[in-house]
Amino acid sequence: MLNTTNSKWKTIFKGTVIILLILVSLGLIFNEQIEDQLVSTYRPIITAKTIQQNKRKHANYDFDNVKALDLQSVAKSRLNAERIPVIGSILVPKVKVHLPIAKGTSNTTLALTAGTLRADQKMGKGNYPLAGHNMMKKDVLFSPLYFKSKVGDKVYLTDMKQIYTYKITIRKFIKATDTSVIKQTQKPMITLITCDSTGNNRLMLRGILIGHESFNQANNKLQKQFSNKFNSQL
């Protein structure tokens, strides 16, 4: 009788464990799907007028407090998406990066865009550093830069008035504590930063400005690429 009872409880225990594992697995799967949906539906309207309005808004530049993305942080970002001060967009055609650029590095901003790292940044003037998340999905946010970028790739920035073209000349890993790469410079350049696979270091891409032109005068292909959906839209 005792052996029968023990066997019964073992069966119940195993069944409970299996059910819990199934529930946890389903939770992880649907969490990811919900997170992807929240990110993919972020499609801000970017015009010269909205950019000018957003340039006057306050932004948080405390990069040390940036946290890894999860469902809670992405959901919070979507709820506050209208507050994100979008001031342009970045395009790296070779690796299929196309993202809004927003002021600052708050968790809300970096969940959906590339963020500026200094308050005094101006496209085409001095050093223009941007930070973005590197995700498990290789085609989201700044992930393609980590997995696919190479020296020689072209990077385009626009404020919807001008398009600034940069060429990547340096691709290297730096310490997470190395903030010297975001300092202002005399020479016009761009600095793109994202986490490595461990989170302890950063991948830094640096490029030099090789030209700029009016947005309306740019070739149709480039204008079309800027009008396409963002690569955060899965």
Say whether 133 is catalytic: yes
Domain count, the chain: 1
pLDDT, position 80: 84
Q: What is the spatial distance between Cα 95 and Cα 110, in angstroms, rounded to a whole number?
A: 19
Say whether 195 is catalytic: yes
One of 58, 98, 133, 212 is an active-site residue; which one? Answer: 133
Both tokens of residue 131?
Answer: 């930070």
Would you say residue 2 lies in a domain?
Answer: no
pLDDT, position 29: 45
Would you say residue 92 lies in a domain?
Answer: yes
What are the distances in angstroms from CA 70 to CA 80, 115, 133, 137? 16, 18, 12, 13
CATH number at residue 135: 2.40.260.10
What are the distances in angstroms from CA 32 to CA 99, 110, 112, 133, 137? 20, 18, 15, 16, 11
One of 58, 98, 195, 212 is an active-site residue; which one? Answer: 195
Both tokens of residue 109?
Answer: 């901003």
Q: Which residue segment(s) compose the domain that 187 sits in?
A: 41-227
- The neighbouring-strand residues paired with 108 are none
CB 133 within 8 A of CB 110: yes
CB 127 within 8 A of CB 182: yes
Q: What is the pLDDT of residues 60-116, one digit of tens each?
A: 888 777 777 777 777 787 788 888 999 999 999 999 999 999 999 998 899 889 999
Q: What is the pLDDT of residues 163-203, one digit of tens each?
A: 999 999 999 999 988 999 999 999 999 999 998 877 789 99
Would you say residue 6 lies in a domain?
Answer: no
